[in-house]
Amino acid sequence: MNDVKKIGFLGTGIMGAPMARRLAEAGHQIRAWNRTASKAEALLPLGVEIGSTPARTVEESDVVIVMLSSGPVCDDILLAPQGVLDAMRRDSTLVVMSSIPVANAERQAEAASARGIHYLDAPVSGGEQGAIEGKLAIMAGGESTAFERLSGLLEVLGNPVRVGPAGAGQLAKLVNQLVVASTIATVSEAMLLAERGGADPAKVREALLGGFADSTILRAHAPRMLARDFKPGGPAKWQLKDTQTALSLADNLSLELPVATLVNRLFEDLVAHGDGDLDHSALVRELRRRNDMPL
């Protein structure tokens, strides 16, 4: 490829590993780090180098991509003295693709700018399969010039859209997560209503496809709910983190979101019952509990 980038990739878990894989297969030079080293080492056959620390991983990188678990984890690794931002070279670009609070993204952007580093917050949606297939929805906030410079690279991972200044990408992801969480709850209820009412839930789902009730959740997650296959693509505890962050922002904006509040409570109960590591489609288990239906 004509525009090979040296990429430091931090976080090679469920989402990060297939994303790093796609970038390596596209010809970019990848040096990766993960707290559990074996997850990064799985990329060695692709020619990916392994960094011993986050700071050493990003040295001399053109682009640093972050796919870590939370805002506090990102802040610890990026902003600490002798951390990632201090190790990055001037005029390189930091792309935080983790789902983090808007305020964290704005703070990181300011710290990057003070060091002459470009910044994009670019969280994603599409789950593990979207990462594998390069079909992620990528919601980017930051400078238009930085976005345009990296649009070709991001297109290896999915469909990037710049939605505004730094922090706007995280805001768009919170909007996405409210839609996802509420739709999972509604599809869960619909499948239970069909079951208890005496219809075949799988056939009901089939009948709805193509109509106004159709959705990615109905297509992808309703079969998982019916098969009770909750191997995580997006763990419920991460969904809860995002809905809690969205509601905290709404509260700061004096915005009442009663549906999101109720759905957040369902996810809180799901995690409290020990199901946080299951896929977020496992919310149906919480509704089955409330209705004395077998799990």
User: Could you list the active site residues?
Assistant: 173
- Residue 249 host element (H or E): helix 236-252
- Closest to 220 in 3D by CA, of 182, 172, 175, 184: 184
* C-alpha to C-alpha distance for 248 and 41, rounded to whole angstroms: 37
Q: Tell me the β-bridge partners of 29.
A: 6
Tokens at 294, concatenated: 């077998």
Tokens at 143, concatenated: 């400078």
In sequence order, the 6+-apart residues with CB closer than 8 A to the CB of 134 are: 22, 156, 157, 158
* C-alpha to C-alpha distance for 216 and 7, rounded to whole angstroms: 32
Sign of CA dihedral 67, 69, 75, 77: negative
The residue type of 119 is Y
